[in-house]
């Protein structure tokens, strides 16, 4: 293989799909059957030659050149290192990549993709890619990776999740800007090691076989797609750009022509569906290679839609075409080689996927950052709590210290507060005592003064007579002055009393006047019994000195109570209602609870209307006037000819006869109308018509 050629195609723009062909060795059965080998593989030139076993060497060998070809001697490691390894490296740079194995059943697709266990040297592309991915990640520095896997199967055009417990559930494809085509609700598992991802693959493979009657049959008729999504971001750079590499590892269904002959029911359906996906793949490849039609029929099948990016889009793609060497496979091998040869020309445009919308890594990073922030806050909180506890402890300690110190300030076994309180109380008592003492002092002083006065008096009595006269004159004067003032006071009081009396008298007069007026009004304008009623109701309230009227309904009248219904209920209740109450149901608003009372007709007090008696002549005239329009004889003859009297006398029988005759006439007339215009009624043409003539039909 020209390895440089492959390396040169790792550039960013237009990159062709890599097509490698692998021819498996002849198996024991083939060897035993002595089948001829018709395929020649030339790995050094990338050439495959195939000889038609049917024409015994007359025809020239068909030769096909590919990016790389692998013969029976090639090892799994060789194939991986030369083809898949560079592609997986690209995935780790943020490119999309697809490796799919195409070929007839039994040619080694599964062997190529998965390998055969348990020999590690037999590991296929999938397992080797796991190793490469996780080795690369473990060696990388300052990078963060998130590896997710999904595993799905397309069987009979239905997508099933091989990692979901529900094997019956089918999944739909969706397309979104920035994401591309994806399987909606497909489960995905985050893997942290090659072991984990291997386990995921193993679980998926187990699921693949469930429900299949024949595992080989099933796997040859279904497409298995193992998806690895690697999200990566530089932890060092300031702006953390996320890149995503997606790797699709596909083990396609057998490309052999599904024989429809004899296939019925489920088998036929299955055959047609397998053909549908693979023929759609062929059509997509053809359309891409042809390039004439811009429309690529990706939507024709689930497989082509999933491979949309891998074929002609943003992906690096490797197609491994598996062939068998034996002569009996010639036709299928040739078909595969032609198919693969065409696929070589598909041009892809791979580019690094930066900042995709569905990056889980970003979400994880953000979540981690959020959690870290939370953790930091929690730590801070914890620290604060600790500080608080320490402070609390310190304050408690301080408090204890204060209490201890306070206890030291105790006086005579009492603490300082109690002591002060007691002192305060003693002080107040003393103050009170002082006040009382003062009061007593004053009293004593007053007593002393009085005693002094009387003593003085006694002393005075027993001194000189002159002094006594003087003293008594003085006293008399004093008393006289007092008498005078008292007299004046009496006069003043009398004067005041008289004035008050006068005022009161005046007011009394006014009131009497008013009362007289009121009495006059009462006597002259209020009926005596009404007055008496009011007088009976009027009362004087001694407490506030005012008059008031008793309520209109005297208290002694007993208020009429609601009659109680026979059942003791507040309202009359029907028997039904009572039963309903006993049964705990509502008895109200029930149809059975409503009484229908028919109104009794009132005796009639009026008589029927009887018309006035009309003279027979007038009656006849009125009848004539009230006759129906049909009965009117429209006569064009002069009015004088109409004899009202005679018409009135005409019997009903006659009139009916006349009507019949007229009807015949009218019918006859309508038939004659086309030829005889104007002669509408049976009047002679000479007499002028009373009504305007109809124009009739215009003769042609």
Residues that bind ligand ADP (CB under 6 A): 24-25, 103, 105-111, 116, 220, 322
| Residue 364 C-beta: closest distance to ligand ADP, Å | 36
Smallest distance, ligand ADP to C-beta of residue 110, A: 3
- Size (the chain), residues: 700
34 is in an annotated binding site: no
Q: Say how far apart CA 634 and CA 122 lie, in whole Å.
A: 122
Range 472-481 contact pairs with CB under 8 angstroms and sequence separation of 24 or more: none
The residue (of 109 and 587) whose beta carbon lies closer to ligand ADP is 109
Strands 143-155, 316-323: pairing is unpaired
Partner interacting with residue 149 (select from Mg ion, ligand ADP, none; CB below 5-8 Å by kind): none
Q: Tell whether residue 107 is among the known ligand binding residues.
A: yes
Residue whose CB is less far from ligand ADP, 25 or 567: 25
Q: Dihedral sign for Cα 179, 180, 185, 190, please.
A: negative
254 known member of a binding site: no
106 binds, among ligand ADP, Mg ion, none (CB under 5 to 8 A by kind): ligand ADP
Cα separations in angstroms, 616 against 503, 609, 612:
103, 20, 12
Is position 46 annotated in a ligand binding site?
no
Residue 322's binding partner among ligand ADP, Mg ion, none (Cβ under 5 to 8 angstroms by kind) is ligand ADP
Question: Do the strands 68-70 and 18-23 form a parallel or antiparallel pair, or are they unpaired?
Answer: parallel
Q: Is 313 labelled as part of a ligand binding site? A: no
90, interface contact from ligand ADP, Mg ion, none, CB < 5-8 Å by kind: none
Least Å distance, CB 263 to Mg ion, is 21
| Nearer to ligand ADP among residue 26 and residue 159 (C-beta) | 26
Q: Is 474 exposed, middle or buried (0-12, 13-18, 19+ CB in 10 A)?
A: exposed
Q: How many CB atoms lie within 10 A of CB 365?
A: 18
User: Is 37 annotated for ligand binding?
Assistant: no
* Cβ atoms of residues 17 and 344 within 8 Å: yes
Is the CB of 219 or the CB of 353 nearer to Mg ion? 219
Give the integer Cα–Cα distance in Å for 332 and 321: 12
Comparing CB distances to ligand ADP, the nearer of 40 and 624 is 40
Minimum distance, C-beta of residue 322 to ligand ADP, in the bound complex (Å): 6
State in angstroms the smallest separation of the CB of 320 from Mg ion: 12
Q: Is the CB of 110 or the CB of 229 nearer to Mg ion?
A: 110
> Which partner, Mg ion, ligand ADP, none, binds residue 53 by CB below 5 to 8 Å per kind?
none
Picked from ligand ADP, Mg ion, none, the partner binding residue 129 (CB below 5 to 8 A depending on kind) is: none
103 annotated ligand-binding residue:
yes
Q: CB-wise, 19 or 183, nearer to ligand ADP?
A: 19
Shortest Å, Cβ 146 to ligand ADP = 31
Q: How far is the CB of 123 from ligand ADP (least distance, A)?
A: 13
Residue located via tokens 């050149």: 65
Round to the nearest angstrom and report the end-to-end CA distance of the chain.
103
Q: Which residue is nearest to ligand ADP (CB)?
A: 108
Residues 316-341 as b or e (16 or more Cβ within 10 Å = b): bbbbbbbbbbbbebbebbbbbbebbb
CA gap 504, 526 in Å, rounded: 31
Phi/psi class of residue 103: alpha, beta or left (left: φ > 0; alpha: ψ in -120 to 50)?
left
**How far is 338 from 341, CA to CA, in rounded Å?**
5
Positions touching Mg ion (CB under 5 A) are 109-110, 219
Q: Is 539 helix (H, G, I), strand (E, B) or coil?
A: strand
**Which residue is closest to Mg ion by CB?**
110
Beta carbon of residue 40, minimum distance to ligand ADP (angstroms, whole number): 16
Cβ proximity to ligand ADP: between 108 and 313 the closer is 108
- The reply to whether 229 sits in an annotated binding site is no
- Please, which contacts does 661-667 make with residues 24 or more away whose CB atoms are closer than 8 Å? 662/633
Residue 111 interacts with, from ligand ADP, Mg ion, none (CB under 5-8 Å by kind): ligand ADP
Binding site residues, as ranges? Answer: 103-110
Binding site residues for ATP, as ranges? Answer: 103-110
């Amino acid at each position: 293989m020209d390895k440089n050629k492959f390396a040169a195609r790792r550039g960013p723009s237009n990159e062709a799909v890599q097509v490698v062909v692998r021819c498996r060795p002849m198996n024991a059965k083939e060897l035993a059957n002595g089948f001829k080998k018709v395929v020649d593989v030339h790995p050094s030139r990338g050439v495959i030659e195939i000889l038609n076993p049917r024409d015994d060497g007359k025809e020239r060998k068909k030769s096909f050149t590919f990016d790389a070809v692998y013969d029976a001697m090639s090892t799994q490691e060789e194939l991986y290192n030369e083809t898949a390894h560079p592609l997986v490296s690209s995935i780790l740079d943020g490119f999309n990549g697809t490796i799919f194995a195409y070929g007839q059943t039994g040619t080694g697709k599964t062997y190529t993709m998965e390998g055969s266990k348990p020999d590690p040297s037999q590991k296929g592309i999938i397992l080797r890619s796991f190793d490469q991915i996780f080795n690369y990640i473990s060696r990388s520095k300052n990078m963060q990776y998130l590896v997710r896997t999904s595993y799905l199967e397309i069987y009979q055009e239905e997508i099933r999740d091989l990692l979901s417990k529900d094997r019956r559930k089918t999944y739909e494809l969706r397309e979104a800007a920035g994401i591309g085509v994806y399987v909606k609700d497909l489960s995905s598992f985050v893997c942290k090691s090659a072991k984990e991802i291997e386990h995921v693959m193993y679980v998926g493979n187990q699921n693949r076989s469930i429900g299949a009657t024949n595992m080989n049959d099933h796997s040859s008729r279904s497409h298995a797609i193992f998806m690895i999504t690697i999200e990566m971001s530089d932890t060092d750079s300031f702006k953390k750009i996320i890149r995503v590499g997606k790797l699709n590892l596909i083990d396609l269904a057998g490309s052999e022509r599904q024989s429809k002959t004899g296939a019925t029911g489920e088998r036929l359906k299955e055959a047609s569906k397998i053909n549908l996906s693979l023929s759609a793949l062929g059509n997509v490849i053809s359309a891409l290679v042809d390039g004439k039609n811009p429309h690529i029929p990706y939507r024709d099948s689930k497989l082509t839609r999933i491979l949309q990016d891998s074929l002609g889009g943003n992906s690096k793609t490797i197609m491994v075409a598996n062939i068998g060497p034996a002569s009996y496979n010639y036709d299928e091998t040739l078909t595969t080689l032609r198919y693969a040869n065409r696929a070589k020309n598909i041009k892809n445009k791979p580019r690094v996927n930066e900042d995709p919308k569905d990056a889980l890594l970003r979400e994880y990073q953000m979540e981690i950052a959020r959690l870290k922030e939370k953790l930091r806050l929690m730590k801070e909180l914890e620290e604060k709590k600790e500080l608080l506890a320490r402070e609390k402890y310190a304050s408690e300690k301080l408090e204890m210290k204060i209490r201890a110190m306070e206890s030291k300030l105790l006086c005579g076994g009492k603490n300082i507060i109690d002591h002060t309180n007691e002192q305060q109380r003693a002080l107040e008592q003393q103050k009170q005592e002082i006040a009382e003492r003062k009061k007593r002092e004053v009293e004593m002083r007053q007593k002393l003064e009085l005693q002094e006065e009387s003593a003085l008096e006694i002393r005075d009595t027993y001194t000189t007579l002159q002094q006594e006269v003087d003293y008594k004159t003085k006293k008399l004067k004093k008393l006289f002055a007092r008498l005078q003032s008292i007299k004046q006071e009496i006069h003043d009081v009398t004067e005041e009393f008289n004035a008050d009396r006068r005022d009161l008298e005046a007011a009394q007069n006014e009131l009497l006047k008013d009362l007289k007026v009121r009495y006059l009004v009462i006597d002259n304008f209020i009926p005596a019994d009404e007055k008496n009623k009011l007088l009976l109701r009027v009362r004087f309230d001694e407490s506030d000195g005012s008059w008031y009227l008793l309520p209109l309904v005297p208290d002694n009248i007993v208020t009429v109570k609601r009659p109680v219904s026979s059942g003791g209920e507040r309202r009359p209740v029907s028997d039904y209602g009572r039963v309903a109450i006993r049964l705990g149901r509502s008895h109200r608003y029930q149809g059975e609870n409503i009484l229908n009372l028919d109104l009794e007709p009132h005796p009639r007090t009026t008589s029927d209307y009887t018309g006035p008696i009309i003279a027979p002549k007038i009656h006849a005239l009125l009848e004539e006037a009230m006759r129906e329009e049909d009965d009117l004889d429209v006569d064009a003859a002069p009015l004088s000819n109409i004899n009202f009297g005679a018409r009135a006398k005409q019997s009903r029988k006659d009139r009916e006869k006349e009507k019949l005759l007229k009807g015949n006439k009218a019918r006859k007339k309508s038939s004659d109308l086309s030829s005889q215009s104007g002669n509408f009624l049976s009047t002679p043409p000479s007499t002028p018509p009373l009504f305007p003539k109809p124009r009739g039909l215009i003769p042609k």
